[in-house]
Amino acid sequence: MRKPLWPEAAAAYKRRAMIVVTGGAGFIGSNLVAALEERGERDLVVCDRLDGGDKWRNLAKRELAGFVLPDALRGFLDRHAREIQAVFHLGAISATLERNADLIVNTNFTLSQALWEWCAATETRFIYASSAATYGDGSAGFDDDGSPEALARLRPLNAYGWSKHLFDRWAIRRTVTPPQWAGLKFFNVYGPNEEHKGVMKSVAAQIYPLAAAGEPCRLFRSHRAGIADGGQQRDFIYVRDGVDIMLWLYDHPAVNGLFNVGTGQPRSFADLAAAVYRAVGRAPLIEFIDTPLDIRDRYQYFTAARMERLRAAGYDWPATTLEDGVHDYVQRFLAASDPYR
């Protein structure tokens, strides 16, 4: 158990105003930065890489106090330690097809350890992105039980999921912690500012141009008895809801632990596709193709976040329905001349 801050230190802590968001130019990160700015936060610092594409557009509407490249992050943190109230660590290599495991571990595990230890030493709050990929094929369930025994039963299917799981297991065993810490297991998130993800962007975003053009989309055929083609289910969560959960945690600094970020209401890919077509005013047009052989034996047919722990902690906002979320995404962003939040 952490000792309470001395009164002088507590007063200084309350004067901290800076919020650092790693991965802040990415999909979920840029939506969080937008929401923080809309709430009136003005001392926002993003740590990320923009490289040569249009990822910068995710931040084009934001007013930032600073932008830091990952290689310069530690020096920045040390120089501004007395100003930083919270670190939202959303930066990661999130491509499930990435094969360079050394790079994945260094980015997703080793850097996360260093940030945790820095936040613990400086009494800085730390909220980080884990992933539903830690659950593997789902055979052990989707319960965000943070006990060492429960985590030991999970078997991620790829290096990305394993690296996130590795950090979760490391974090829950720490006896020296930041004043607040929370690891968030994001399920299938969709919403604005994901264009830079290319083939890794949400299925909703990939279907949209086909629906808008009146062309059919393609979904994987089912290879399991009793499950219809396109009937494979995921817990699709609108990015706005994921951001709301992070803001709620920020507003409740006494809440700590691992939490799922989903709706708890799995829906089929056919439902998702139909929602996109209806959002553009068209009847669904869906064709089915065989699931590729190289992923068929490990393709997930069902995911659903258990949300009881977050509800028990006090979070009681209703999740956006799939139809409402997709309609908002299509009408306000994908169909707009400026699709960025």
The span from the CA of 92 to the CA of 334, in Å, is 25
The span from the CA of 118 to the CA of 149, in Å, is 27
The question of whether 160 is a catalytic residue gets the answer yes
The span from the CA of 104 to the CA of 332, in Å, is 34
Residues 6+ apart with CB under 8 A from 116: 126, 128, 171, 174, 177, 178, 181
Under 8 Å between Cβ of 305 and 263: yes
Cα distances (angstroms) measured from residue 208 to each of 56, 266, 339: 22, 21, 12
Under 8 Å between Cβ of 291 and 235: no
The question of whether 197 is a catalytic residue gets the answer yes
Supply the DSSP symbol for 221.
Answer: P
Given 128, 135, 160, 208, the catalytic residue: 160
Which residues are catalytic, by number?
160, 197
